[in-house]
Amino acid sequence: MTESDPRKLLVLGFDSPLLAQEAFLAMTRLAQSGQILVQDAVFIHKRDDGKVKVSETIDISPGDAALSSSLWGALLGTIVGGPIGLLAVGAVSAGIGALVARFTDIGVPDGTVKSIGEALAPAKTALALLLSHIDEDALATELKRFAGATIVQSSLSEATVAALRASVASPAA
């Protein structure tokens, strides 16, 4: 993200994956009412054994991209070159699709996700949100429902982060 990028990163820490999912649903409700725009959301969970599981909502995996690309390539190859085109173009497009997915990062940067996963304590979950068009009052009000959550990282203004920290520090109403 560049300085001129209107997208802001907000990473919330939770004691359970279920609370992180509930927070994501709350952000989805805010988005549906036009109070924020969720550009990406990534769930990062560190298991008790220290292994990190990441679930992204936007970035496509190389395997998914390869499958999709190979199907489109096979269709195009069949139309242009018959059975040989099916195999040749299908295989080439699968490889290209996998490479593009591997090196394209349109949501929360992969480096950020990795560093969050490394910093998480075992049995904790983080929800990394890439937001824009933020109604800060609505966001603070919604986060009051998640007392005990922590703000792990943010590129929002210091005043906004302070207000959000106060929201999650106060008991739920």
Residue 51 shares a structural domain with residue 65: no
pTM of this structure: 0.67
Residue 165 shares a structural domain with residue 97: no
The answer to whether the beta carbons of residues 143 and 168 sit under 8 Å apart is yes
The answer to whether the beta carbons of residues 142 and 30 sit under 8 Å apart is yes
**In terms of residue numbers, what domain contains 99?**
60-104
Residue 119 shares a structural domain with residue 48: yes
Residues in the chain: 173
Residue 71 lies in a domain: yes
Residue type, 71: L
3-state class of 159 per DSSP?
A: helix
Residue 134 shares a structural domain with residue 152: yes
The answer to whether the beta carbons of residues 173 and 146 sit under 8 Å apart is no
Residue 45 lies in a domain: yes
- Structural tokens at position 33: 């009412």
Residue 116 shares a structural domain with residue 83: no
Exposed/middle/buried for residue 135 (C-beta within 10 Å: 0-12, 13-18, 19+):
middle
Residue 1 lies in a domain: no
Residue 153 shares a structural domain with residue 95: no
Residue 114 shares a structural domain with residue 146: yes
Residue 111 shares a structural domain with residue 162: yes
Residue 97 shares a structural domain with residue 122: no
The CB density around residue 28, as the number of other CB atoms within 10 Å, is 13
Residue 53 shares a structural domain with residue 111: yes
Q: What is the pLDDT along the chain (173 residues), one digit of tens a residue?
A: 434 457 788 999 999 999 999 999 999 999 999 999 988 899 999 999 999 998 887 645 455 545 555 555 555 555 656 666 555 555 556 555 554 454 444 577 778 888 888 889 999 999 999 898 999 999 999 999 998 888 887 777 888 888 888 888 866 55
- Say what the pLDDT of residue 85 is: 57
Residue 3 lies in a domain: no
Which residues pair with residue 170 across a beta bridge?
Answer: none
Residue 151 shares a structural domain with residue 85: no
Residue 21 lies in a domain: yes
**Total number of domains constituting the chain:** 2
- Say what the pLDDT of residue 104 is: 47
